A = this chain, B = another copy of it.
């Protein structure tokens, strides 16, 4: 029995006067082609009588995180964390007073900070994501996630996950899917909140990573994050990491930017029923509207090719009944 059928059955037993068809596993999704495509896909792959049926082991779904499961504007939240860490630890680094890009971060020149390119940001990430043990990094990032607030919404960053996506993850799992995160964000950072926010355990989180070194000790060995990139989990590296960690081709992929293009291509070009989805940020009122010209979460090629490739473009404005659910 699918979980949907179970919900219908339970609903039927307690609410005898209500039609089972009214029980909706995705209540925060507005009716429309996106919701229909998702529910139709799940019905087909879980229906043993349907030619598109897949055994549970093959029901692997992969999700980008930034801009797909939570917001990413005006700056990837993990970069906000990195900038906050530079300020919080500046006293321990007197050399940063003279050294760019740290001088600008500590000095607080917002205009100069906004002009940072990849090189400056990578230096800031390296300085704040290495040179400590994995345990220390987890504690620091968890403390930040428990306290830092987004300026526009005055809410914790980790409260800016999308309720329709949380519902979708739960709906897929209740239908026998594994739900994996495959993010350009850092794997340790993601794991500090993925279980609580999304119900996704640490072993189903794939992300960017630093190299790390194990320091042996008979009583208290440690693992240290090194200032070298282990993997930058974006674009063509996403399918490579999916293969390395999962070892199967997913049958559903959900992203929102051109960094997810290869992940959707890899997912949707296999045999049998497959579903690729792109979240289009077109809701400046409740969230943000951005696509082809954005520095963060740029979506350009995906919009051009989605129709030809059979990918579903999900409109935040049209398809999301609520954004954050509060």
Partner of A269, one of B202, B205, B219: B219
Q: Would you give the shortest CB distance from A7 to chain B, in whole angstroms?
A: 23
A41-71 CB mask vs B (1 if < 8 Å, else 0) is 0000000000000000100000000000000
Given contacts A187-B244, A219-B269, A240-B223, contact A262 B203 (CB under 8 A): no
The complex places the Cα of A57 from the Cα of B239 at a distance, in Å, of 27
The complex places the Cα of A248 from the Cα of B138 at a distance, in Å, of 12
Let me know if A298 is at the binding interface, CB within 8 A.
no
Quick one: copies of this chain in the complex?
A: 2
Segment 201-221 of A: residues with Cβ below 8 Å from B: 201-203, 205, 209, 212-214, 216-221
B246 to A216, Cβ gap below 8 A?
no
> Which B residues lie within 8 Å of A265 (CB)?
216-218, 221
Let me know if A230 is at the binding interface, CB within 8 A.
yes
A212 to B309, Cβ gap below 8 A?
no
Segment 225-257 of A: residues with Cβ below 8 Å from B: 230, 236-237, 239-240, 243-248
A202 to B247, Cβ gap below 8 A?
yes
A221 to B239, Cβ gap below 8 A?
yes
> Which B residues lie within 8 Å of A246 (CB)?
202-203
> Which B residues lie within 8 Å of A4 (CB)?
none
Let me know if A280 is at the binding interface, CB within 8 A.
no
Q: How many residues of chain A get a CB closer than 8 Å to chain B's CBs?
A: 38
The complex places the Cα of A57 from the Cα of B203 at a distance, in Å, of 10
The complex places the Cα of A220 from the Cα of B308 at a distance, in Å, of 15
The complex places the Cα of A308 from the Cα of B187 at a distance, in Å, of 35
> Which B residues lie within 8 Å of A296 (CB)?
none
> Which B residues lie within 8 Å of A269 (CB)?
217-221
Partner of A223, one of B178, B212, B219, B239: B239
Let me know if A191 is at the binding interface, CB within 8 A.
yes
Partner of A216, one of B201, B218, B220, B236: B236
Partner of A247, one of B205, B213, B219: B205
Q: Using CB atoms, name the residue of chain B closest to A178.
A: B203
The complex places the Cα of A209 from the Cα of B247 at a distance, in Å, of 12
> Which B residues lie within 8 Å of A266 (CB)?
214, 221
Let me know if A134 is at the binding interface, CB within 8 A.
yes
